[in-house]
Amino acid sequence: MATPEGWKEPRRTSTSRWRSFLSRGRNKSQEPGPAEEPREPSRPRTASPPPPQQRRGLPPQRQQPPAQSQPNVYGSPARSAAPQAPQAAPAAQRAVAPTPTLTPPRDPRGGGQADPAVLNALRRPMGRSRVIAFINPKGGVHKTTATVLTAAALGSARSAGGAQQSGVIAWDDNELRGTLGLRAGSARHGRTIRHLVEHLDRVEAAGVQLPEHLDEFLRHSADGSFDVLAGDEDPKLQLKLDPTTVLRMLDILTRTHELVCIDTGNNVESHNWRTVVSSADRLVVTTVPREDAAFSADWMLDLLEENGYGHLVKDAVTLLSLPTPNPGPLLQDLSAHFSSRTKDVAVVPYDPALEPGAKIEFSALRDQTRNAWYEAAAKIIDGY
C-alpha cells in the first residue's frame, strides 16, 4: 500500500475562481422564474478561496478557509491558473466526464424494485479487496451518512445475490468521537477500534482464524448486510493511529473483506487521514449543495493534486447529498463543476428517515432513495 510521505507545502493563494462561480449560483437564484421566497443576500467574504493550480501539496486543516496571514509550512510549487468556465458544459472541459445527474435519480419503473442491471453491477466479484475513502475536511457534509448507506447498498445487494456474507465493512476512522458505530451497527458489544489496536498483535497472528478473531471487535448492521468497526470516544486514540498502525489495520480489513468503506476525519494534517487517502483505491468526495461545503471539497481536491495524487482525484466520485427536499440553486452548477474534476457525480435525494440523525435503517428509506443509493454505489465501484 502507499504511504503518506512526501506531502508538501500548500501553494500561495491568489485570485478566486469561486467568487465568480458561486456568484453565478446566487444570480441564478434571482433570475425570473416560479415565485419563491426572497433569498438572503450574499454575505461579504473575508478571504479569497484558492484558485485551480498545478497539483502537488496538502494544506493544513487550520488553513481552511485559507487566510492570507497563514504561514506556509509545506512549500509546494506554484500552479498556473487553470481557468474554470462554469457556463461551459462538462463535456467541453473534460471529454471523459459523463453528463451529470442534475436531479435525484429515480427508478424508471416508478420505485419499488431497483434496476436489475445496477444490482448485478453491485454483485460482481471485485477481483481483490478495494479500499474506498469518503473525504471532505468539513463536518456536516454527510460523510458518515454516505459511508453507512454506500456500505448498506453494497452489502444488501451482494448478500441478496447469493453470497453467504457480503464482504463489506464500514470503518469509522474519525479520530474524535465518530458516530458511525452508533448510526450503523447493532451494539452487541462496546468494543471499538481502540480495543482492536490494543490486541492487534494477537489478531494478526490468528492465521486462518483471522476472520473469527477480528469478528470479536466488529459490530454488524441491523440487517446483517455489512460489518462495522466503530470509532472510539477517547481523543488520545489519534496518537496511536500512526501510519504503521493504520497500514496494519488496513491489511487486516482487506484480508477479511472485499470492500472497505472508510469514514475519514476532518484533519487533513493527521498521519491517519493521509495514510488512508494514500492507500485508497477510490476516493468519494462527499458534499451538499452549499457554498461552504463545496468550497471545502474543491480546496481538498487542489490539495491532493498538489501532493501527487491527481490520479486519485481524476478517478474519484463526487457524491452530492440533498439535506432538504429543495435541491437549491447551486445543485446544477456544482454537479457540472465536480464532473469536470472527478470521474463521476452522483446525486442522492433527501429522505425524511435520515433527518433525525439517529440509527440508519436502509430498509426504512423510501424506494426512490434506496434506488438512488444503489446507483451511487454502482458508480463508486465502477471499473473494478
In this prediction, residue 165 carries a pLDDT of: 60
**Phi and psi at residue 345, to the nearest 5°:** -130, 135
Q: What is the pLDDT of residue 251?
A: 97
Q: Give the DSSP H/E element, type plus range, for residue 122.
A: helix 116-123
Phi, psi of 344 (to 5 degrees): -155, 165
Model pLDDT for residues 11-56, shown as the tens digit of each residue: 444 334 555 555 554 454 454 444 444 444 444 434 333 444 443 3
Provide the whole-model pTM. 0.74
Alpha-carbon span 360 to 343, nearest angstrom:
28
User: Which stretch, 90-94, 188-192, 324-328, has highest mean pLDDT?
Assistant: 324-328
| Cβ–Cβ < 8 Å for 155, 204 | no
The full set of domain ranges for the chain reads 95-380
In the CATH scheme, what is the code of domain 95-380?
Answer: 3.40.50.300
For the ranges 106-120, 146-160, 225-239, the maximum mean pLDDT occurs at 146-160
Evaluate if residue 332 carries a pLDDT over 80. Answer: yes
φ and ψ of 122, to 5 deg: -75, -20
For residues 281 and 127, give the distance between their C-alpha atoms in angstroms, rounded to a whole number.
Answer: 13
- In this prediction, residue 230 has a pLDDT band, given cuts at 50, 70 and 90, of confident
Across the chain, mean pLDDT equals 77
pLDDT band of residue 118 (cuts 50, 70, 90) is very high
For residue 9, what is its C-alpha cell? 507545502
- Mean pLDDT value across residues 342-353: 96
Alpha-carbon gap, residue 177 to 43, rounded angstroms: 32
What's the DSSP call for residue 363? G
For residue 192, what pLDDT is reported? 87
The pLDDT of residue 314 is: 97
70: pLDDT strictly greater than 50: no
* Sign of torsion over alpha carbons 302, 307, 308, 311: negative
Query: What CA–CA distance (Å, rounded) separates 108 from 371?
Result: 10
Contacts of 314 (CB under 8 A, 6+ apart): 342, 343
Average pLDDT over residues 111-115: 74
Percent of the chain with pLDDT over 70: 67
Look at residue 21 in the predicted model and tell me its pLDDT. 54
The predicted pLDDT at position 39 comes to 45
Q: How confident is the model at residue 151 (pLDDT cuts 50, 70, 90)?
A: very high
pLDDT band at 3 (very low <50, low <70, confident <90, very high): low
Judged by DSSP in three states, 135 sits in: strand
Contact yes or no for 303/268 (Cβ under 8 A): yes
Cell numbers for 96:
471523459
Of the ranges 75-79, 112-116, 180-184, which is most confident? 112-116
pLDDT-derived band of residue 92, with 50, 70 and 90 as boundaries?
very low
| Integer Cα distance of 332 and 363 in angstroms | 29
pLDDT of residue 335: 96
**pLDDT score for 366:** 96
**pLDDT of 250 strictly over 60:** yes
